[in-house]
Amino acid sequence: MIKGSHFRFNKQERSGIFFLLLIIFIFQGIYFYVEAKPFDASPAVKVNTAEQAHLDSLKGMAQLDVGKIFPFNPNYITDHKGYTLGMSLEELDRLFDYRDKNKFINSAEEFQKVTQISDSLLNKIAPYFKFPAWVKTGPIAQKKFYQNNSEINKVEDLNGATAEELMRINGIGPTLSKRIVKFRDRLGGFVVNGQLHDVYGLEPEVVQRTLEQFQVLQPPTIKKININQATAEELAQLVYITQDVAREIVLHRKSNGPFSSLDELVGVGAFPTDRIERIKLYLTL
Protein backbone atom coordinates (compact mmCIF):
# COMPACT_ATOMS: atom_id res chain seq x y z
CA MET A 1 0.00 0.00 0.00
CA ILE A 2 1.46 3.36 -1.06
CA LYS A 3 1.24 6.04 1.55
CA GLY A 4 -0.01 9.50 0.60
CA SER A 5 2.47 12.40 0.19
CA HIS A 6 2.99 14.73 3.16
CA PHE A 7 2.90 17.71 0.76
CA ARG A 8 -0.53 17.02 -0.64
CA PHE A 9 -3.23 19.46 0.65
CA ASN A 10 -6.94 19.36 0.35
CA LYS A 11 -8.97 22.17 -1.11
CA GLN A 12 -9.66 23.86 2.24
CA GLU A 13 -5.98 23.84 3.19
CA ARG A 14 -4.96 25.25 -0.18
CA SER A 15 -7.43 28.12 0.24
CA GLY A 16 -6.00 28.91 3.66
CA ILE A 17 -2.47 28.99 2.35
CA PHE A 18 -3.54 31.25 -0.50
CA PHE A 19 -5.16 33.78 1.82
CA LEU A 20 -2.13 33.72 4.12
CA LEU A 21 0.19 34.51 1.21
CA LEU A 22 -2.20 37.23 0.06
CA ILE A 23 -2.15 38.86 3.49
CA ILE A 24 1.66 38.71 3.62
CA PHE A 25 1.84 40.27 0.17
CA ILE A 26 -0.52 43.10 1.18
CA PHE A 27 1.47 43.93 4.32
CA GLN A 28 4.72 43.86 2.38
CA GLY A 29 3.25 46.28 -0.14
CA ILE A 30 2.09 48.64 2.59
CA TYR A 31 5.52 48.52 4.22
CA PHE A 32 7.36 49.42 1.04
CA TYR A 33 4.84 52.15 0.24
CA VAL A 34 5.28 53.84 3.63
CA GLU A 35 9.07 53.58 3.41
CA ALA A 36 9.13 55.12 -0.04
CA LYS A 37 6.77 58.03 0.87
CA PRO A 38 8.64 61.20 2.00
CA PHE A 39 8.06 62.19 5.64
CA ASP A 40 5.83 65.22 6.11
CA ALA A 41 7.56 67.22 8.81
CA SER A 42 4.89 69.91 9.01
CA PRO A 43 3.09 69.85 12.37
CA ALA A 44 -0.55 68.99 12.56
CA VAL A 45 -1.20 72.15 14.60
CA LYS A 46 -1.00 75.32 12.57
CA VAL A 47 0.84 78.28 14.21
CA ASN A 48 -0.60 81.74 13.84
CA THR A 49 2.43 83.45 12.34
CA ALA A 50 1.16 86.95 13.14
CA GLU A 51 0.66 86.14 16.82
CA GLN A 52 4.00 84.36 16.99
CA ALA A 53 5.75 87.37 15.50
CA HIS A 54 4.10 89.60 18.10
CA LEU A 55 5.21 87.33 20.95
CA ASP A 56 8.74 87.22 19.57
CA SER A 57 8.87 91.02 19.45
CA LEU A 58 7.66 91.28 23.06
CA LYS A 59 10.26 88.74 24.12
CA GLY A 60 12.94 90.73 22.37
CA MET A 61 11.86 93.93 24.11
CA ALA A 62 11.90 92.17 27.46
CA GLN A 63 15.42 90.93 26.84
CA LEU A 64 16.55 94.44 25.97
CA ASP A 65 15.12 95.76 29.25
CA VAL A 66 17.11 93.27 31.33
CA GLY A 67 19.90 95.19 33.03
CA LYS A 68 18.68 98.53 31.69
CA ILE A 69 19.45 101.36 34.11
CA PHE A 70 17.15 104.35 34.45
CA PRO A 71 18.25 107.74 35.88
CA PHE A 72 18.19 107.76 39.69
CA ASN A 73 19.32 109.81 42.67
CA PRO A 74 22.23 107.89 44.26
CA ASN A 75 21.28 109.26 47.69
CA TYR A 76 18.27 106.94 47.75
CA ILE A 77 19.69 103.61 46.61
CA THR A 78 18.00 100.64 48.26
CA ASP A 79 19.54 97.25 49.06
CA HIS A 80 17.91 95.74 45.97
CA LYS A 81 18.90 98.64 43.72
CA GLY A 82 22.49 98.48 44.93
CA TYR A 83 22.60 94.73 44.30
CA THR A 84 21.37 95.13 40.72
CA LEU A 85 23.98 97.85 40.13
CA GLY A 86 26.74 95.51 41.30
CA MET A 87 27.55 97.15 44.65
CA SER A 88 28.79 95.05 47.57
CA LEU A 89 27.20 95.00 51.02
CA GLU A 90 30.16 96.94 52.45
CA GLU A 91 29.78 99.68 49.83
CA LEU A 92 26.05 99.93 50.51
CA ASP A 93 26.62 100.09 54.28
CA ARG A 94 29.01 103.02 53.82
CA LEU A 95 26.34 104.85 51.83
CA PHE A 96 23.62 104.09 54.39
CA ASP A 97 25.84 105.22 57.28
CA TYR A 98 26.55 108.48 55.46
CA ARG A 99 22.85 109.09 54.79
CA ASP A 100 21.90 108.25 58.39
CA LYS A 101 23.87 111.35 59.36
CA ASN A 102 21.52 113.41 57.16
CA LYS A 103 24.31 114.07 54.66
CA PHE A 104 23.74 114.14 50.91
CA ILE A 105 25.99 113.14 48.03
CA ASN A 106 26.17 115.79 45.32
CA SER A 107 28.56 114.35 42.73
CA ALA A 108 29.84 111.11 41.25
CA GLU A 109 33.25 111.76 42.82
CA GLU A 110 31.70 112.20 46.25
CA PHE A 111 29.70 108.99 45.75
CA GLN A 112 32.91 107.07 45.08
CA LYS A 113 34.64 108.69 48.04
CA VAL A 114 31.83 107.67 50.40
CA THR A 115 31.14 104.16 49.07
CA GLN A 116 34.70 103.37 47.86
CA ILE A 117 33.39 101.64 44.72
CA SER A 118 35.83 100.82 41.93
CA ASP A 119 36.53 103.13 39.00
CA SER A 120 35.04 100.61 36.58
CA LEU A 121 31.73 100.42 38.46
CA LEU A 122 31.61 104.20 38.84
CA ASN A 123 32.11 104.67 35.11
CA LYS A 124 29.29 102.21 34.49
CA ILE A 125 26.62 103.78 36.76
CA ALA A 126 27.65 107.44 37.10
CA PRO A 127 26.06 108.47 33.76
CA TYR A 128 22.69 107.58 35.28
CA PHE A 129 23.07 109.70 38.42
CA LYS A 130 20.33 112.30 38.69
CA PHE A 131 20.92 115.10 41.20
CA PRO A 132 18.64 118.07 42.02
CA ALA A 133 19.04 121.10 39.76
CA TRP A 134 20.93 123.20 42.30
CA VAL A 135 23.74 120.62 42.56
CA LYS A 136 25.06 121.63 39.13
CA THR A 137 25.42 125.30 40.11
CA GLY A 138 27.12 124.98 43.49
CA PRO A 139 26.33 125.73 47.16
CA ILE A 140 25.37 129.38 46.55
CA ALA A 141 22.69 128.33 44.09
CA GLN A 142 21.63 125.65 46.58
CA LYS A 143 21.02 128.27 49.26
CA LYS A 144 19.12 130.48 46.82
CA PHE A 145 17.12 127.48 45.64
CA TYR A 146 15.87 126.79 49.15
CA GLN A 147 15.17 130.45 49.84
CA ASN A 148 13.17 130.99 46.67
CA ASN A 149 11.23 127.74 46.72
CA SER A 150 8.45 128.26 49.25
CA GLU A 151 7.37 124.61 49.25
CA ILE A 152 10.81 123.32 50.15
CA ASN A 153 11.67 126.27 52.39
CA LYS A 154 8.68 125.45 54.56
CA VAL A 155 9.88 122.17 56.00
CA GLU A 156 7.62 120.73 58.69
CA ASP A 157 8.46 118.37 61.53
CA LEU A 158 8.05 114.75 60.50
CA ASN A 159 7.31 113.77 64.09
CA GLY A 160 4.37 116.15 64.25
CA ALA A 161 2.80 115.41 60.88
CA THR A 162 -0.66 113.87 60.85
CA ALA A 163 -1.77 111.13 58.49
CA GLU A 164 -3.85 113.68 56.57
CA GLU A 165 -0.87 116.04 56.17
CA LEU A 166 1.36 113.23 54.92
CA MET A 167 -1.20 112.49 52.19
CA ARG A 168 -0.16 115.75 50.53
CA ILE A 169 2.88 113.86 49.24
CA ASN A 170 2.45 112.30 45.82
CA GLY A 171 2.56 108.54 46.33
CA ILE A 172 1.22 108.50 49.90
CA GLY A 173 -2.41 107.49 50.28
CA PRO A 174 -4.54 106.63 53.33
CA THR A 175 -2.87 103.26 53.90
CA LEU A 176 0.74 104.46 53.73
CA SER A 177 0.08 107.61 55.75
CA LYS A 178 -1.45 105.58 58.58
CA ARG A 179 1.42 103.10 58.34
CA ILE A 180 3.99 105.91 58.71
CA VAL A 181 2.23 107.27 61.79
CA LYS A 182 1.90 103.79 63.30
CA PHE A 183 5.59 103.04 62.72
CA ARG A 184 6.54 106.42 64.20
CA ASP A 185 4.46 105.69 67.29
CA ARG A 186 6.14 102.29 67.72
CA LEU A 187 9.54 104.00 67.55
CA GLY A 188 8.49 106.70 69.98
CA GLY A 189 9.26 109.20 67.23
CA PHE A 190 11.73 109.29 64.34
CA VAL A 191 15.28 109.95 65.48
CA VAL A 192 16.80 110.45 62.01
CA ASN A 193 15.28 111.05 58.59
CA GLY A 194 16.65 107.75 57.32
CA GLN A 195 14.17 105.81 59.43
CA LEU A 196 11.48 106.80 56.97
CA HIS A 197 13.05 104.24 54.62
CA ASP A 198 12.15 101.53 57.14
CA VAL A 199 8.41 102.00 56.65
CA TYR A 200 7.16 98.95 54.77
CA GLY A 201 5.96 99.67 51.24
CA LEU A 202 7.34 103.21 51.07
CA GLU A 203 9.33 103.55 47.84
CA PRO A 204 12.65 105.50 47.90
CA GLU A 205 11.28 108.07 45.46
CA VAL A 206 8.32 108.72 47.78
CA VAL A 207 10.67 109.02 50.76
CA GLN A 208 12.66 111.62 48.84
CA ARG A 209 9.53 113.65 48.08
CA THR A 210 8.43 113.37 51.71
CA LEU A 211 11.74 114.64 53.06
CA GLU A 212 11.43 117.72 50.88
CA GLN A 213 8.48 118.79 53.02
CA PHE A 214 8.88 116.83 56.27
CA GLN A 215 12.06 116.19 58.25
CA VAL A 216 13.02 115.31 61.81
CA LEU A 217 13.19 118.76 63.37
CA GLN A 218 12.43 117.72 66.94
CA PRO A 219 13.82 114.23 67.61
CA PRO A 220 12.48 112.48 70.70
CA THR A 221 14.46 112.04 73.87
CA ILE A 222 15.56 108.43 73.90
CA LYS A 223 16.18 106.44 77.04
CA LYS A 224 18.84 104.11 75.73
CA ILE A 225 18.89 100.47 76.78
CA ASN A 226 22.08 99.09 78.33
CA ILE A 227 22.98 96.11 76.16
CA ASN A 228 24.97 94.51 79.01
CA GLN A 229 22.16 94.71 81.55
CA ALA A 230 18.89 94.49 79.61
CA THR A 231 16.72 91.40 79.67
CA ALA A 232 15.48 89.72 76.49
CA GLU A 233 12.02 91.22 77.11
CA GLU A 234 13.46 94.73 77.31
CA LEU A 235 15.52 94.30 74.14
CA ALA A 236 12.53 92.89 72.25
CA GLN A 237 10.69 96.18 72.81
CA LEU A 238 12.86 97.74 70.11
CA VAL A 239 11.18 97.76 66.70
CA TYR A 240 14.28 96.40 64.99
CA ILE A 241 14.87 93.45 67.35
CA THR A 242 12.69 90.35 67.43
CA GLN A 243 12.20 88.20 70.52
CA ASP A 244 14.40 85.45 69.09
CA VAL A 245 17.25 87.87 68.40
CA ALA A 246 16.83 89.40 71.86
CA ARG A 247 17.20 85.98 73.47
CA GLU A 248 20.30 85.25 71.35
CA ILE A 249 21.87 88.54 72.48
CA VAL A 250 21.36 87.64 76.14
CA LEU A 251 22.71 84.11 75.62
CA HIS A 252 25.73 85.48 73.77
CA ARG A 253 26.39 87.90 76.63
CA LYS A 254 26.18 85.11 79.22
CA SER A 255 28.52 82.87 77.23
CA ASN A 256 31.10 85.46 76.15
CA GLY A 257 30.86 88.15 78.78
CA PRO A 258 29.75 91.80 78.43
CA PHE A 259 29.86 93.54 75.08
CA SER A 260 32.77 95.96 74.77
CA SER A 261 31.35 97.56 71.62
CA LEU A 262 27.92 97.77 70.06
CA ASP A 263 29.44 96.63 66.77
CA GLU A 264 29.98 93.20 68.35
CA LEU A 265 26.24 92.62 67.95
CA VAL A 266 26.78 91.70 64.32
CA GLY A 267 28.33 88.45 65.52
CA VAL A 268 25.15 87.38 67.28
CA GLY A 269 23.21 84.67 65.43
CA ALA A 270 20.42 86.15 63.31
CA PHE A 271 21.13 89.76 64.27
CA PRO A 272 19.94 92.13 61.47
CA THR A 273 23.36 93.48 60.50
CA ASP A 274 21.85 95.79 57.88
CA ARG A 275 20.08 97.67 60.68
CA ILE A 276 23.00 97.97 63.11
CA GLU A 277 23.23 101.75 62.72
CA ARG A 278 19.51 102.13 63.45
CA ILE A 279 19.68 99.84 66.48
CA LYS A 280 22.72 101.62 67.91
CA LEU A 281 20.57 104.73 68.25
CA TYR A 282 18.66 103.00 71.05
CA LEU A 283 21.44 101.14 72.88
CA THR A 284 24.33 101.93 75.19
CA LEU A 285 27.03 99.96 77.03
Which domains does the chain carry?
74-148 (no CATH), 155-215 (1.10.150.320), 225-284 (1.10.150.280)
Whole-angstrom distance, CA of residue 93 vs CA of residue 97: 6
> How much is the pLDDT for 116?
92
| pLDDT computed for residue 136 by the predictor | 53
Q: How many CB atoms lie within 10 A of CB 53?
A: 10
* Residue-averaged pLDDT of the chain: 76
For the stretch 103-146, pLDDT in tens is 788 888 889 999 999 988 888 888 888 876 545 545 444 445 44
Return d(Cα 106, Cα 113) in angstroms, integer.
11
Q: Compare 258 and 142 and report the one with higher pLDDT.
A: 258
With a cut of 60, say whether residue 245 has pLDDT above it: yes
What mean pLDDT comes out for the span 158-170? 88
User: CA-to-CA distance for 258 and 227, rounded, in angstroms?
Assistant: 8
pLDDT of residue 238: 85
4 Cβ neighbours under 8 A, 6+ residues apart: none
